[in-house]
Amino acid sequence: MISLNTRPDPVTIVPERTAVIVVDMQNAFVSNGGMFDLAGVDISNAASVIYANRRLLKACRRAGIRVVYLQMSYRSDLSDAGDVSSPNYHKELGITTMRRRPELGGRLLVDGTWDWQIIEALSPEPGDWVVRKSRYSGFCGTDLEERLRNADIQHLLFTGVATNVCVESTARDAFFAEFWPILVEDAVNHSGPDFNRQASVWNFENVFGWVADTGQVIVALETAISATA
């Protein structure tokens, strides 16, 4: 058992019953020329978030924590994006951008495209899970909950983008499903004004989860590993 110095209170985890959920670390959201960049979303903090994730995932794998990648994805014919009766059709950035800019048709978040790919710096390793999703929450229309239950997972560390959209949406559903969500604050990046980030962090800390940072988690994991060596 490992105690994490989370806010507002410490949380004790068991590595074998913990997973880190890496949300949408795709070219679309963190790379120059990706969907966010093309839409004018500020991605200037992407490099530090990528670095934090690399450090954290290395420590998590060493400690025996399951690594789960969520990947926002649409079929090439957009049949899973929703039609005009779906709110996703009207609000999701990739779908609305491709409709507004026809020259980008089939290029944003579509299976097999560069935009859709998980960034090379964080490529999944053997044994990691990759869960495809076509909505903001990783629990919507996927087998994520079933896989976590089958693996007896209880605690979930959250990283990735966007803090206030897909990360928070997935964490809320995790909370409702009786998992324990822990936001790794410096390993996520938000979209829109900074008050979006502040609101999400406040929600985690006060309403439906806990907040940690990469350094705290790594120190706790490495200390536990050293103690059992």
Tell me which residues are annotated as active site. Answer: 24, 133, 166
Task: Quote the tokens at residue 156.
Answer: 């979930």
Tokens 């997972």 locate to 153
Whether cis (ω within 30° of 0) applies to the bond prior to 8 is yes
DSSP conformation letters of 159-195: EEE-IIIIIHHHHHHHHHTT-EEEEEEEEEE--SSHH
**Contact call for residues 54 and 25 (beta carbons, < 8 A):** no
Neighbouring residues of 111: CB distance < 8 A, sequence distance ≥ 6? 73, 74, 75, 76
Q: Which is nearest to 66 in space by CA: 157, 176, 169?
A: 157
**Exposed e or buried b per residue across 159-186, where buried means at least 16 C-beta atoms within 10 angstroms of its C-beta:** bbbbbbbbbbbbbbbbbeeebbbbbbbb
The CA distance from 77 to 35, in Å, is: 18
Continuous segment of H or E residues that includes residue 219: helix 214-228
Q: β-strands 2-4, 11-13: how paired?
A: antiparallel
